[in-house]
Amino acid sequence: MGSRHVFHVATLADWEAARSAGTYTTSTYGVSLAQEGFLHASREDQWRGVLERFYADVTEPLVLLVIDPDLVGVPLVEESPAPGVAETFPHLYGALDPAAVVEVRPL
User: Which pLDDT score, from 0 to 100, does residue 3 have?
Assistant: 59
Question: CB 63: neighbour CB atoms within 10 A?
Answer: 20
Do residues 96 and 8 lie in contact, with contact meaning Cβ atoms separated by under 8 Å? Answer: yes
Question: Domain holding 71: CATH number?
Answer: 3.20.170.20
Q: 26 lies in a domain?
A: yes
Q: 1 lies in a domain?
A: no
The domain total for the chain is: 1
Residue 87: domain span? 6-106
Q: 31 lies in a domain?
A: yes
How far apart are alpha carbons 90 and 50 in whole angstroms? 12
Per-residue confidence of the chain (107 residues) as pLDDT tens digits? Answer: 445 899 999 999 999 999 999 999 999 999 999 999 999 999 999 999 999 999 999 999 999 999 999 999 999 999 998 889 999 999 999 999 999 999 999 99
Q: 102 lies in a domain?
A: yes
- Write out the chain in H/E/C secondary structure: CCCCCEEEEEEHHHHHHHHHHCCECEEECCEEHHHHCCEECECCCCHHHHHHHHCCCCCCCEEEEEECHHHCCCCEEEECCCCCCCCCEEEECCCECHHHEEEEEEC
